[in-house]
Structure 1
Amino acid sequence: MIKIYVLLVTVLFANQTLSQEDIKLENDLRPVWEVGAFAAAFNTPEYPAADQNNTNIIAAPYLIYRGEVLRIGDGAIARAVAVDKSWYELDVSLAGSFGANSEDNLARENMPDLDFVFEVGPQLKMRLAEFNFAEHGRSELFLNLQARAAFSTDFSGLDHRGYVFQPQLAYRQRGWLSEKTALSVRISPSWATEELHDYFYQVDSQFVTSDRPLFDASSGYMGTNVGLSVSFEATKDIRVFVGGSMTIHSGAANIDSPLFKDKSTYSMGLGMVWRLWQSEQKVAGR
């Protein structure tokens, strides 16, 4: 099924797309601020280790501000120069997953729907290495330590769903095929507290069937995501991205749950960022 989410979802996914522009090239001047629109389509599992996927469409405005003290967007939700050093940065990490209608999912038939889940928390980004290529731009290797609180929402209320720890090894390269082409490769295992595992994998007595036995979920390892994305300029003001990822759930804490259906799941995304307005003033190296 197709759902259209606005604002909150766009903050999550537009930020991930724009983060490919983190790496600054020589003489790379950018507007102090810019405003535009973001639109994308994603095909993702209905929940971790599900054997059914959903297609979701999102569209909304975005804002980037590259100030001397405060920076919004441009690879981070918000960060201060005081904690933006040459080899590490401290900012906010966000993640999200779309909801699922249990009527359309055989494993969850007659169970409550899964709401949109978003996660927010601090992130320590450490630059491990950087590389300069004669013909293929510049690249950097990061270790990102992310700890987030998870919440589910149907956009009329909010429920806390525990905590997630997700270290990430990320390689980003600008100038991969041309000056304005960006490549991102990442690998990120994740662990979560029992509340989030309960939300996805617990089967209480009222939902037991002949094919769905009682199951008490526990905290622990959820899986490891491996992803690749590429973005490029279609025009001076329109940037297009395409990406895909695989999550390997082998060894997950709740692999015995009747709701745990697939040890490997896949996601794909395609979208665009359209810059509509920008400041005349330019800055470098921010």
Structure 2
Amino acid sequence: MPTSFRLALPLSLLIALPAAAADGDARTVPLWEAGVGAAVFSTPAYPASSDRSTRGIALPFLLYRGKVLRVDQGGVGARLVNTDRVEFDVGFAAALPAHSKDVAARRGMPDLGTLVEFGPRVKYKFADLGAAGRLRAELPVRAVIEGRGGFRRQGWTTEPRLVWEQRGDGGRWTLETQLGAVFGDRRIHRYFYEVAPQYATADRPAYRADGGLMLVRTGVFGTVRVNPDVRVFGFVRLDSYAGNANQDSPLFEKKAGVSAGVGFAWTLARSARSANE
């Protein structure tokens, strides 16, 4: 998954997940691939919401594995440093909107718009376990921009996490698990949990949000190659909001949430040139 904080499932789903399925040895994978993908997924409407959003999405995708410019399993961005141990890049991702009319706790409040996240990320590859997989640590820091009737900055987030990944049967299948936590400043917490006086009701009192921990997250993502052009993928993610800085908000409804999805990616064209040329 684009490795931004992904409070909703990202619009880049059909870029990032097929890319994760397709990436392998740079000596054999093509420089670029293009195709179509589709997925069905279900997530909480926003972190700690008791309402859910279930959606289907189908989009074309383009993967590009250049030395600097990358559109791959890490998202969309520029890889500025790449060594055996350390990788540093700058990238972005996006998250789908939530309409307040469909969310009981937010009814009558402004919609949650499409969020675009942009910023740097450091990855440290600290253990190669051979057949048992690889371990790395990641630290992304993202500015959050909302696109709803214009563009507005909605604060920043950071998501330190540990990632274990493994590939088997010559790359026919992949498995990745992660454990991390999402922190945000007061502005992004206000976006999700603050109730301004004009939106207060008898059941939804006014509330002023604070910054801090938003959630602790663990999840698993896997892919299987059906043939050279088609892969299927699925994921399950568990978020715990028990330590959320705004548990007293009337918009905070649950202490845990589960997201899940399945989909496929079909490559229609690829370059003859490999990624390392």
TM-score, normalised relative to structure 1: 0.86
Structure 1 CA distance, aligned partners of 2:235 and 2:110? 31
Q: Is 1:189 aligned to residue 166 of structure 2?
A: no
Aligned twin of 2:207: 215
Structure 2 CA distance, aligned partners of 1:283 and 1:274? 19
Matched-pair contact (CA < 8 Å) for 1:23–1:173: no
Q: Is 1:11 aligned to residue 12 of structure 2?
A: yes
Select 1:282's aligned residue among 256, 260, 274: 274
Aligned twin of 1:143: 137
Aligned twin of 2:37: 38
Structure 2 CA distance, aligned partners of 1:83 and 1:195? 31
Q: Which runs of 5+ in 2 are unaligned?
A: 1-9
Select 1:163's aligned residue among 156, 161, 164: 156
Matched-pair contact (CA < 8 Å) for 2:15–2:63: no
SS in 2 for 1:19: helix
Select 2:222's aligned residue among 230, 235, 253: 230
Aligned twin of 1:99: 97
Aligned twin of 2:192: 200
CA offset at residue 96 of structure 1? Answer: 4.0
SS in 2 for 1:184: strand
Matched-pair contact (CA < 8 Å) for 2:221–2:235: yes
Aligned twin of 1:172: 165
Select 2:122's aligned residue among 121, 124, 138: 124
Deviations 1:181-234 (A, max 9, x none): 000101110110111111110111111111111100011110111110110112
CA offset at residue 74 of structure 1? Answer: 2.6
Structure 1 36/13 Cα, relative in aligned 2: closer, same or farther at 3 Å?
closer
TM-score, normalised relative to structure 2: 0.89
SS in 1 for 2:109: coil
SS in 2 for 1:31: coil
Q: Which runs of 5+ in 1 are unaligned?
A: 1-8
Structure 1 173/30 Cα, relative in aligned 2: closer, same or farther at 3 Å?
same
Structure 1 174/39 Cα, relative in aligned 2: closer, same or farther at 3 Å?
same
CA offset at residue 56 of structure 1? Answer: 2.1
Q: Percent identity?
A: 33
How many residues matched? 268
SS in 1 for 2:106: coil
Which residue identity is paired with 1:113? D
Structure 2 CA distance, aligned partners of 1:83 and 1:198? 35
Structure 1 CA distance, aligned partners of 2:18 and 2:65? 17
Which 10-residue stretch deviates more, 53-62 or 158-167? Answer: 53-62
Matched-pair contact (CA < 8 Å) for 1:23–1:172: no
Select 1:241's aligned residue among 204, 226, 233: 233
Aligned twin of 2:4: none
Deviations 1:57-114 (A, max 9, x none): 22222222233x334223332334x611011111134454322221121111111111
Structure 1 22/168 Cα, relative in aligned 2: closer, same or farther at 3 Å?
farther
Structure 1 142/22 Cα, relative in aligned 2: closer, same or farther at 3 Å?
farther
Output the aligned Cα RMSD.
Answer: 2.2
Which residue identity is paired with 2:141? A
Aligned twin of 2:7: none
Matched-pair contact (CA < 8 Å) for 1:166–1:188: yes
